[in-house]
Structure 1
Amino acid sequence: MKKIINYCQNHYWKKWLRRHKCKLGGGVTSLGGRTTLVLEENVSLGNLVINAKQLSIGAHTYIRSDCVLSAVSSIGRFCSIGNNCYIGQDKNTHPSDWVSSHPFQFTNTSLSFEPEIVDVTIGDDVWIGHDAMIMEGVNVGTGAIIATRALVLHDVPPYAIVAGTPAKVIKYRHPPERVSALLNSQWWECNVDYLLTLRLDDPDAALPELMDARSNHLASYERLEVSRKGCRVLPA
């Protein structure tokens, strides 16, 4: 009977989220027991494992299935994250300078092992390829691209493209002056209908118009709080 009740509740909250322009493929049961998730409109999440304590995800971001979101506190708007990514993998889950690395030493004993964990933060317009892993404590800058199967150990600068194991910068999406202009424009704060009127395939043509009119086209998104207990709309 309990399984049936849980199934029905999960189904209800999945439909509730869809009515509020969001998708959570696994429903609230994909969240850890202590997880609080805050979503802006038009976020689409596949079947994930979400263990983060507090995680906010910005509008229009999508994350494909089979990802694990662990030590991560924020993911910006317009991010594209492929299947089977691990974001926020702990670095120090076992002691390396004790007699042993095995947890028998601090399980039901007087000893304790509680390493400090620093959350990952991900900016806006970040693209993360299939099978990538981002270790805890990393800051991924706005506009960055993380290649398929990359292992990211260190911060990624804005608009950098990183690849490899460990990941290294292989190039930048734009020259420095255009990167600066894109960051200053904060285009991700504008509504999509306005953005689609711009020459998005030509940043140098779009940026002057964007800078002139940006303040008149800022987006306003509903924010949803999601936990194992259910969902609610947050005050504006």
Structure 2
Amino acid sequence: MMRVTDWYWKRWIRRRGLKFSTAVSELSSKSTLNIEEGVRIGEVAIDTRELSVGANTYIRSECLLQVVGSIGRFCSISTGVVLGQEKHTHPLNWLSTHPFQYTDTGLEYTARFDLATIGHDVWIGHAAMVMEGVTVGTGAVIATRSLVTKDVPPYAVVAGVPAKVIRYRFPPEVIERLLASQWWERDIEQLKALPMNDPDACLEALESIPKVGYRKIQITRRGCQELV
């Protein structure tokens, strides 16, 4: 049965043009989420201290957001995706890898970690996994069930275990123009009016469209607030 406070915050979030299906009370006491308007997040497990999610990104249910610090705008993340899978949860240079060694023994093992970073306009297919410390460039595509262990260049399409670049979405000169345009900083309604099936024409039109700011809210187990 949904708690009254969870019901209240879910409605509060929806009134601000966002969706967050995970109950606020289920967040870790150490987790802070900063999400921009238009974000849609299903029922996901969140195990990261601080995460920012950019405008109009959606994350389907059954995902795990672990050691990941930021997800850009206009990202499409399918079900069962793991972002920031930890690599050093057990010691490799001790007697054993088992946690009995630092449970009630006076010894302490602290796993080191590096945050994963997801750029803008990234499409991640079903059940793909991105390891901690990996940077996925803007415009990249990660195929279903891929295991990403290394940085992914902007606008690259990667697939496999481990994932490798199989092609790029556009020629180098178009990629350079797309990155320079920073089109994800424009209002979504103005973008919809562009000939989006023709990137060259879009890039020409973008020059006359001003950049805009997106509203942002912060979500913690204690509740939610709007950020200036």
TM-score by length of 1: 0.94
Runs of 4+ residues deviating >2 angstroms: none
Q: Which residue is equivalent to 1:196? A: 192
Following superposition of structure 1 onto structure 2, how do residues 139-178 of structure 1 map, counting pairs within 5 Å? 139-178=135-174
Structure-1 separation of matches of 2:47 and 2:58:
18
Specify which of 20, 44, 68 is matched with residue 16 of structure 2.
20
Kept after mapping to 2: 8 A contact 1:30/1:47: no
More helix by share: 1
* Structure 2 stretches lacking a partner, 5+ long: none
Question: Are 2:215 and 1:226 equivalent residues in the alignment?
Answer: no
Identity %: 51
Q: Tell me the secondary structure at the aligned position of residue 169 of structure 1.
A: strand
- What's the secondary structure of 2:184's corresponding residue? helix
Aligned counterpart, 1:115: 111
The letter of the residue matching 2:153 is P
Distance in 2 between residues matched to 1:29 and 1:79, nearest whole Å: 26
- Give the Å deviation of 1:109: 1.7
2:119 aligned with 1:126: no
Structure 1 unmatched runs, 5+: none
RMSD of equivalent CA atoms = 1.1
Q: Secondary structure at the match of 2:35?
A: strand
2:87 pairs with 1:94: no
